[in-house]
């Protein structure tokens, strides 16, 4: 019981950290973009480092959002068989798919880490002296975190709304069988 409370506490803190990071990055991206637009249109000049910073923010937003989506079962899934197969078989397939997805994420993490290592060798700056490899580190970290989330998901049942058929979440008049 004590371990469950500790695990839930850590999980809540990580979710807060993810939400905070997403909020700061999104507000920073919008703010920097608006600043660029105003400076270009009103003053005829721009911040030379802003485009590189905005590209980095988009990359970080995408990876952190992917980690959040994986943790909340909001990732892209193709689920054709869950309504047709017996529940026990669906559970086995769920475990296998989550573990396979985790393995793919680990492979992507390893490959993207190698990509960041190559960038480290070139020592190119992304913006304001921030090295490109530092910006790219979110990719292997993000994939590793997704792998952890998928391994954890393999051993817990998905939320009830995720077990239901996709059409059951649509309003009654938009379901294909109601026409």
Tokens of 55: 């590209």
Q: What is the largest CA-CA distance in the chain?
A: 66
Note the pLDDT of residue 37.
Answer: 96
What residue segments make up the domains of the chain, in order of their start?
2-178
Report the C-alpha gap between 71 and 15 in whole angstroms.
9
- What is the per-residue pLDDT across 111-140, written as a single tens digit (0 to 9) for each? 999 999 999 999 999 999 999 999 999 999
Note the pLDDT of residue 175.
Answer: 45
Q: What is the pTM of this model?
A: 0.79
């Amino acid at each position: 019981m004590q371990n469950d409370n500790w695990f839930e506490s850590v999980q809540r803190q990580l979710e807060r950290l993810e939400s905070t990071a997403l909020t700061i990055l999104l507000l920073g991206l919008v703010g920097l973009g608006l600043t660029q637009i105003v400076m270009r249109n009103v003053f005829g000049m721009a911040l030379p480092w802003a485009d590189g910073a905005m590209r980095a923010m988009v990359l970080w937003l995408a990876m952190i959002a992917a980690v959040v989506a994986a943790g909340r079962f909001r990732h892209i899934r193709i689920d054709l068989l869950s309504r047709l197969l017996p529940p026990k078989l669906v559970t086995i397939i769920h475990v296998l798919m989550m573990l396979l997805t985790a393995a793919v994420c680990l492979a992507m993490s390893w490959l993207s880490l190698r990509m960041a290592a190559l960038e480290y060798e070139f020592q190119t700056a992304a913006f304001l002296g921030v090295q490109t490899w530092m910006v790219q580190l979110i990719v292997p970290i993000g994939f590793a975190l997704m792998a952890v989330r998928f391994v954890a998901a393999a051993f817990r049942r998905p939320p009830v709304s995720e077990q239901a058929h996709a059409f059951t979440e649509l309003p009654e008049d938009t379901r294909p069988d109601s026409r």
